[in-house]
Amino acid sequence: MLAALAALAYFSRHRIHLGDFTWRKFTHAVGQANPWLLLLAVVAIYGCYGIRALRWKRFCRHLGRPQFTEVFKGTIMGFAAIFVLGRPGEAVRPLLLARKCRLPVASMFGIWAIERIFDFASAVGLATLSLLVFTRKLSDAGANTDWLDHARPGGWLLLGMLGGIVAVMVYFRLHGAGILDRRMKQWHGKTGWKRRITTVVTGFSEGLQAIRTPSDLLAATFYSAAHWALVALAYLWISQAFASEFTLSSMNFPGAMLLLAVTLVGSTLQLPGVGGGAQVASFIALTSIFGVEQEPAAAMAFLLWLITFASSTLVGLPLLIHEGLSMGELRRLARDEAQAEVLGAHVCETSDAAGLRVPQGRGDSAK
């Protein structure tokens, strides 16, 4: 998918002329946006955090019975940490959820791994549905028909990829996990990349243990679909907030799905506090696929990132402060976890006097 984004950027290079960019048009586009639709999008994003918390709670049901409010707070704090630290902050969210839910760290990283698989599959599903099922609706949304014709074969490729992901997960859950775990035992005493691979495989296997019954799979699929449908709805509302300014007045839900799918690819490139990849991907999609002028496209890409990602800090940072976690401590958590992974383990946690769990060195927390 990153290759697809790179190809889109390459073929769009002659259509983007940043030398013609004017800040006056940019600020005008931001000032003309409908604030009520933007506020509605913020509410939708916090609803998405709630759905994520419900999915995580469901994944944990074979490990314990965490409170929804604790999972919800841990989720928001985790995304706020990712905003502040960038991709290194990804490791902080499972650690925070282990603390809030009082569950093993290794199991939380396993659930995090399976959560990422469901999110990746959802992104592929969004792109596939928009390109193969809602092609006419995309044209109605103002998408470039030539681009759609060239991208449609890629939709079939993504569909095959989605089928492959499902097949691998089913096989691994039914047959492969035990076999692979036995073969990886010889690497448990190693260091460096072999232990890191062992940690990743073990975490994935731990995560799959959260899906033990057909009802577990259906619940995870339902929560994932509801979550990303609500995110796409937030994208639609943000697009409609700019409707008076440019051609996105015809933007519809399938168009918002495609815009979201492209943005998700770009979000894999994340810089601390400033994002980066998501805004660039949104900007390229808006200008190259939907034909939006550069200034309104930049304004909308900025607000998409601000609302769907940075807004987590509105509640997340006060919660982190309330928990007594400074930015320096978050960086230390991320650094310690990265160092522990090199040794093939996760940061260990033990209870402190206040009843919370705090890092205490490194080791295999699954023991």
Write out the residue range of the structural domain in which residue 235 sits: 2-15+22-349
- % of residues, the chain, pLDDT over 70: 68
Strand 357-363 and strand 346-351: the pairing is antiparallel
Q: The whole model's pTM is what? A: 0.78
Q: Report yes or no on 355 lying in a domain.
A: no
Tokens of 198: 């062992």
CA angle in degrees (0–180, nearest 5) for 173-107-71: 115
* Domain count across the chain: 1
Where is pLDDT greater, at 40 or 353?
Answer: 40
User: Which is nearest to 259 in space by CA: 167, 123, 358, 68?
Assistant: 123
Q: Say what angle helices 253-266 and 2-11 make with each other, to 10 degrees.
A: 100
pLDDT in tens, 155-213: 788 788 888 877 877 776 666 656 666 666 665 555 556 666 666 666 666 666 778 78
Backbone angles phi, psi at 4, to 5 degrees: -65, -40
- % of residues, the chain, pLDDT over 90: 20
Which region among 251-260, 280-289, 347-356 has the lowest average model confidence (pLDDT)? Answer: 347-356
Q: Report yes or no on 169 lying in a domain.
A: yes
- Top-confidence range, 45-59, 289-303, 335-349: 45-59
Q: Report yes or no on 301 lying in a domain.
A: yes
Q: What is the pLDDT of residue 70?
A: 93
Tell me the pLDDT band of 344, cut-offs 50, 70 and 90. Answer: low
Residue 331, pLDDT above cutoff 70: yes
Where is pLDDT greater, at 253 or 265?
Answer: 253
Q: Report yes or no on 361 lying in a domain.
A: no
pLDDT in tens, 61-98: 888 888 999 999 999 999 998 888 877 778 888 888 88
**Span 94-116, mean pLDDT?**
85
Q: Report yes or no on 359 lying in a domain.
A: no
Tokens of 147: 């681009």
Q: What is the pLDDT of residue 201?
A: 67
Q: Report yes or no on 366 lying in a domain.
A: no
Q: Report yes or no on 358 lying in a domain.
A: no
Q: Report yes or no on 302 lying in a domain.
A: yes
